[in-house]
């Protein structure tokens, strides 16, 4: 099976990640931050090393890196924690449900929200957001790049708008982190991302990284290994948002994944995957029944397309039968599919990884070409 | 060199402090905070250095110990 569904989760994982997880299972068996014995301290040091690796990679302070179970978990913490039950929030029409659903849920309990059109050119998108800001606006939540089309949003402009209006910019970096050089000083107050996508960590890993400017009220309280005589949750990061035992094995694997991305270079990975997308687009263009959903502007290495006469899930199923993993349907992004006119059937999404090759893309183009509908 | 104990609110900050001190060539180890410095759970760094020098090095990195004392 050739995997072109890396936007869902990257596979295969790099050797250093597999080795690190194996080492974690055999060497780092203590509960970090819970005891004073050597096993616990050594494990805490390994978790700290991962925290520092993520902090350096994204331009943050080490203690402001919070490990989560995925990007959805991080976005829920950030959105609900910053809003704290009141105020107005703005999202884009390219948001994944991991951002859109928490915001909608908040609207049933005292918050209000608006949706800005993020499908236009960058200046228009920025203006669309700024126009919606009210005195009660507390946050803008925006993906750094759509998980459906790959469209990169003007996040630096949005960060600047948030800075001017003193509101919190929460960025969903699930698809962008690892292929774009994302740093908090770009204007991001809270970066939420997955660890298991383009950072090549294991499933069950995610990150919330704060610049510390906006307080985040915890969604969960519990054991943190700190200030244990007090009933109140600690008010300092990362403990305030990390109740319960963390995913040590996943975190140590994620550390190796970030190291792998750093060693290969974000720019090189982006160039490699973007070239594969260009190859696919050029290869599919002659097929009359293929429609590719790309406009002007900058894109992540993701391509959404359809073949006339087949639903996206029929096409993805047929491609699976022929040995290719691509995701059909709505990609948990109903808003985005409505925005580009592909709801309710969705699209087929091609998303390569650092391990994908031009030969694999040639094979995929050949298979699509051989289908009688194309 | 006599050892001193520097208490921190979390294991993350304690390990960060340990790393700062080790980079400066100071022997430093993360330990459980002794009862003499704080009650409840917590982590400290035991360091073989002048407490004023240590506090200054940590302050430069934005780290402030919650308490400083000698081991009993």
pLDDT at B71 over 90: no
Q: Return the domain boundaries, chain B.
A: 4-69
Residues A236 and A279 reside in one and the same domain: no
Q: Does B25 touch chain A (CB under 8 A)?
A: no
Percent of chain A with pLDDT over 90: 97
CB-nearest to A226 from B10, B15, B30 is B10
ipTM of this complex = 0.90
Residue of B nearest to A235 (CA): B9
B53: closest CA of chain A, how far (Å): 23
Residue A217 near residue A168, CB atoms below 8 Å: no
What span, in angstroms and rounded, lies between the C-alpha atoms of A37 and A31? 10
In this complex, is the C-beta atom of B41 within 8 Å of any C-beta atom belonging to chain A?
A: yes
* Partner residue facing A238 (CB), from B12, B19, B40: B12
Task: Look over chain A and give the mean of its residue pLDDT values, rounded to a whole number.
Answer: 97
Environment class of A292 (CB within 10 Å of its CB; exposed 0-12, middle 13-18, buried 19+): middle
Whether A226 and A168 share a structural domain: yes
Does A177 lie in the same domain as A72?
Answer: yes
Contact yes or no for A265/A26 (Cβ under 8 A): no
Domain boundary among A222, A248, A263: A263
A259 and A283 assigned to the same domain? no
Q: Is the pLDDT of residue A257 over 70?
A: yes
Give the CATH number for residue A57: 3.40.640.10
> What domain range includes position A212?
15-263
| Chain A interface mutation, best of B10, B20, B23, B61, highest count of A Cβ atoms under 10 Å | B10
pLDDT digits 0-9 by tens, A54-85? 999 999 999 999 999 999 999 999 999 999 99
> What is the number of structural domains in chain A?
2
Domain end point (choices A208, A229, A263): A263
Residue in B with minimal Cα distance to A34: B41
Give the end of a domain, one of A211, A228, A263.
A263
A250 plus A318 within the same structural domain: no
Mean pLDDT calculated for residue range A321-337: 97
Shared-domain flag, residues A115 and A242: yes
Same-domain check for residues A65 and A150:
yes
Of A35, A45, A226, the CB nearest to B9: A226
Q: For domain B4-69, which architecture applies?
A: 2-Layer Sandwich (3.30)
Q: What is the pLDDT of residues A205-221, one digit of tens each?
A: 999 999 999 999 999 99
pLDDT number for residue A374:
59
pTM of the model: 0.96
Closest-CA residue to A10 (of A318, A264, A208): A264
Q: Residue B37's pLDDT band (boundaries 50, 70, 90)?
A: confident
């Amino acid at each position: 099976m050739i995997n072109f569904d890396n936007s869902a989760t990257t596979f295969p994982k790099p050797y250093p990640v597999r080795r690190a997880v194996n080492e974690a299972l055999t060497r780092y068996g203590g509960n970090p931050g819970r005891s004073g014995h050597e096993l616990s301290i050594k494990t805490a040091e390994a978790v700290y090393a991962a925290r520092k690796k993520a902090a350096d990679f994204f331009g943050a302070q080490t203690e402001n890196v919070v490990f989560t179970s995925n990007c959805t978990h991080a976005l829920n913490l950030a959105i609900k924690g910053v809003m704290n039950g009141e105020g107005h929030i703005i999202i884009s029409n390219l948001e994944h449900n991991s951002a859109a659903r928490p915001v909608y849920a908040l609207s049933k309990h005292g918050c209000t929200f608006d949706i800005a059109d993020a499908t236009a050119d960058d200046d228009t998108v920025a203006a669309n957001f700024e126009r919606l800001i009210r005195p009660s606006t507390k946050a803008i939540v925006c993906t750094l790049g759509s998980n459906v089309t790959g469209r990169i949003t003007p996040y630096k402009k949005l960060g600047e708008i948030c800075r001017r209006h003193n509101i919190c910019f929460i960025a969903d970096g699930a698809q962008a982190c690892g292929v774009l050089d994302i740093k908090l000083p770009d204007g991001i107050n809270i970066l939420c991302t997955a660890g298991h996508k383009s950072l090549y960590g294991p499933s069950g890993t995610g990150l919330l990284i704060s610049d510390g400017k906006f307080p985040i009220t915890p969604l969960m309280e519990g054991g943190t290994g700190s200030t244990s005589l007090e009933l109140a949750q600690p008010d300092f990061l990362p403990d305030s948002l990390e109740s319960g035992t963390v995913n040590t094995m996943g975190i140590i694997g994620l550390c190796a994944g970030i190291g792998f991305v750093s060693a290969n270079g974000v720019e090189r990975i982006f160039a490699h995957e973007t070239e594969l997308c260009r190859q696919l687009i050029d290869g599919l263009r002659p097929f009359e029944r293929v429609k590719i959903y790309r406009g002007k502007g900058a894109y992540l290495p993701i391509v959404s397309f359809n073949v006339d006469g087949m639903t996206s899930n029929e096409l993805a199923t047929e491609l699976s039968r022929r040995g290719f993993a691509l995701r059909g349907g709505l990609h948990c992004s109903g808003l985005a599919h409505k925005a580009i006119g592909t709801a309710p059937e969705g699209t087929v999404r091609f998303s390569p990884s650092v391990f994908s090759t031009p030969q694999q893309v040639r094979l995929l183009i050949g298979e699509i070409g051989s289908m009688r509908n194309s | 060199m006599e050892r001193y104990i520097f208490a921190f609110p979390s294991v993350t900050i304690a390990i960060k402090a340990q790393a700062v001190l080790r980079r400066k060539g100071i022997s430093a180890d993360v330990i459980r905070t002794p009862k003499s410095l704080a009650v409840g759970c917590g982590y400290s760094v035991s360091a073989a250095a002048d407490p004023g020098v240590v506090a200054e090095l940590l302050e430069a990195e934005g780290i402030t110990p919650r308490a400083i004392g000698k081991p009993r």
